[in-house]
Structure 1
Amino acid sequence: MTDVNRPYVADKPAKRESNEQLQARIPGWGADLDPKDRPSYPRERFDPGATGAHWEFPDRQKETYPRERSIEHGMLPPVFGTVAPLHGVSGIIRRTAYKRFSEARLAHWLLLILGDRVEAAGAHLRSMASLRPDDPITETGVRTELTAGGASALRSDRADTHHRWIDPLLVVGPWVLTGWIGLGLLRRILRRR
């Protein structure tokens, strides 16, 4: 296996082209080759022995269930997160994004956003079905904006003043839409009876 297929190696991969070849081919390449031109100098140093790594290639974490990974990568990284495995409809959408589309494609990211929105809608529905539904006024910070420290929402030096007009639509909109759909379903059920 070459270093190209094994990105997680202890040593730096060998250069394919010399510095002179790269400078001739790419305008501006190597502008920071001189250590004195780098902001991190003199702290920066390449000393693999100082890391304490005792491996050429790190031990791989076991994959207990199929993990999503970008199609650009030949394998999963040696260590990966397992806290929130994909599940339900949102998991199917996210798996499709990873299986079919490159990370360079807009479709990949739009599917991930769609999966997130489906997950959020499911959480809202579970909240409404429980005995303690979410409270969008206090949990989104709307009440705090109006009461904490006077009128913090009215300060003009804040960075979020430009998109403040859409915040009520994003916060309250899903609740109104869910309630409207729920009332429509309830009316339909009552008409059939």
Structure 2
Amino acid sequence: MTETATPYIAEKRIPRRAAEELRAQIPGWGADLDPADRPSYPREQPGIETGAHWDFPERQPEKWPRERSVEHAFLPPVFGTSTPPAGVSGAIRRYAYKYSEGRAAHWLLLIGADRVDAWEHHLKSFATLHPDNPFTETGVASEFRRGGLRSRYGQKRADVNHQWIDPIIVGGPWVLAAVGLAAALKAQRKRRTA
């Protein structure tokens, strides 16, 4: 179930609640109302020129429907276009934006989409002349050539606590994929001989 939220618009016209009402409802509200308590107060005075000026820039055209937060009515004037959402990971990303940015589901779906995207690219690499090589690309080879063990022990490094699980997280999916591929090839070979 998606959360419906009013998009943020700078010029939104919502009647302000009285300061007394807010002070009664929210502990500590209005603690900075006294100008003497605000370090930025002198710069807030009318008539002080800061040199800052800003007009809304020309909008970048949308070449495809962009994912956008439910908190915002429109996209910013400029946004990235280098990697449009595609495949299963793109569908997961589009679905994540049905949730508010304040919900864990939004961020967990985006993290999951990143992992799916990585696997989509790993699988695509096998169709090229240069498939991914997890042994060299994860830096495992440098552990043996560049004093990896010596740099980890006796240094009070924080990553030593979880290094036992790193090979499982990084290498585990590759091992599972290899075992699955071997099982599939074995089953196919059985069917051919039967």
Q: Note whether the superposition's TM-score is higher than 0.5.
A: yes
Q: Partner of 2:90: helix, strand, or coil?
A: helix
**Alpha-carbon distance in 1 for matches of 2:158, 2:42:** 35
Determine the structure 2 residue equivalent to 1:138: 136
Please name the residue that 2:107 is paired with.
109
Residues 63 and 157 of structure 1: CA distance in aligned 2, closer, same or farther (over 3 Å): same
Q: TM-score, normalised by structure 2?
A: 0.74
- Larger RCO of the pair (alpha carbons < 8 Å, separation 6+): 2
Supply the distance in 2 between the matched residues of 1:95 and 1:48 (Cα, whole angstroms): 43
* Greater Cα offset, 102-111 or 63-72: 102-111
Per the alignment, residue 160 of structure 2 pairs with 161
Task: In structure 2, list runs of 5 or more residues that go unmatched.
Answer: 1-6
CA distance in 1, matches of 2:71, 2:130: 44
List gaps (5 residues or longer) in structure 1.
Answer: none
Supply the distance in 2 between the matched residues of 1:29 and 1:90 (Cα, whole angstroms).
43
Q: Quick one: structure 1 residues 45 and 175, their matched pair in 2 at CA, closer, same or farther if it must change by over 3 Å?
A: farther
Whether the 8 Å contact between 1:61 and 1:80 is mirrored in structure 2 is: yes
CA distance in 1, matches of 2:164, 2:138: 15
- Aligned match of 1:80: 79
Look up the equivalent residue of 2:9 and give its one-letter code.
R
Which amino acid is 1:157 matched to? K
Amino acid at match of 1:126: K
CA contact (8 A) 1:89 1:118 kept: yes
Say which SS state the counterpart of residue 124 (structure 1) adopts: helix
Q: Is the 8 A contact 1:103 1:109 kept in 2?
A: yes
Alignment RMSD: 3.3
Rounded to whole Å, the distance in 2 between the matches of 1:146 and 1:31 is 58
Q: CA deviation at 1:43?
A: 11
Deviation for aligned residue 1:36: 6.8
**Mapping for residues 35-184 of structure 1, pairs under 5 Å:** 41=39, 45=43, 50-53=51-54, 55=55, 57-99=56-98, 101-148=99-146, 151-184=150-183
Bigger shift: residues 61-70 or 23-32: 23-32
Please say if residues 127 and 133 of structure 1, whose CA atoms lie closer than 8 Å, have aligned partners that are also in contact.
yes
Percent of aligned positions that are identical: 52
1:85-111: CA deviations, max 9, x gaps? 101111111112213x23333332332
Q: Over residues 13-70 of structure 1, what are the superposed CA-to-partner deviations in whole Å (9 max), with x where a residue is unaligned?
A: 99934656544432123445567766xx4699457852242x2x34322111100012
CA distance 1:156–1:117, change in 2 (3 Å): same
